Amino acid sequence: MLKFLVLWFRILMRTLSNRAAIIAQLQKDILLLEGFKPALDDSGFHAGLEPIKEAFPNARFPTGAIHEFISMSDEQAAATSGFICGILGKLMQQRGLCVWISSSPTLFPPACKLFDILPHHLIFIHLKRERDILWAMEEALKCNRLIAVVAELQEINLVASRRLQLAVEQSQVTGFVFRHKPKNLNNTSCISRWSISSLASGMEEDGIPGIGFPRWKVELLKIRNGRPGSWQMEWSANSFKLITKPKYSVHERLLKRG
């Protein structure tokens, strides 16, 4: 009887293991059918977001896809620009240039060095009409010499976002649609939707007073075949760090010393 139970248990575990492998393979096949094609040279690439990699499909940051960022205030827009630059800095370490399209100059190029981005590797394009921004983004996404394209605009519909996705499926360029104060949070074909807010800088209890590291509240509102979530993150030592325990903010620390 005991031998029978042991044999039955082994068969059951083997079946469960095979089932898990089948499900994992099906998930990868579905991603391919949806246009998510991992580049050949970036296996395991996380864009510096290793602390939250489990939120992404196959535990890797989706490159060769379109990501949507939402900001509802000027403060959020500034925080979002910094967070996007953190991702771009990791992407641009591999190869290529980045095109940043907007209606006016909102980014201070020398500040990009904080995120390991050389200013002369950014190409800025300023266009007044949003339809021209969308057209320029679509054309830029078709250029496989680029590593990424960022476009600042307010509105984008499902059809326009689908055209962008079709463009990156061929070139494997990563796109960032940066929407500022959108009137309608409509559905798009973007693989993800993010909301980034700034947090007070922090330091260790025995730290020196001064300007702390940039911090964000990172909300992954949706991610295709992934796990949405919310985290507090910090940029330090040229990388994103997950804030897992409370720290003194700079203001709180100065009050304590005063």
Among candidate residues 52, 76, 50, 64, the one with its CA nearest the CA of residue 220? 52
DSSP secondary-structure letter at 105? -
Per run of 10 residues, the mean pLDDT along the chain (length 258 residues) is 57 60 57 51 60 87 95 95 94 86 91 90 95 97 95 95 94 96 93 95 62 90 94 90 68 54
Q: What is the pLDDT of residue 41?
A: 46
Contact between 194 and 67 under an 8 Å Cβ cutoff? The reply is yes
User: DSSP characters for 20-84?
Assistant: HHHHHHHHHHHHHHTT----TT-TT--TT-GGGGGGSGGGS---SSEEEEEESSHHHHHHHHHHH
Among candidate residues 172, 224, 173, the one with its CA nearest the CA of residue 56? 224
Q: What is the pLDDT of residue 163?
A: 96
Q: Positive or negative, the Cα torsion across 105, 102, 38, 234?
A: positive
CATH topology of domain 45-257: Rossmann fold (3.40.50)
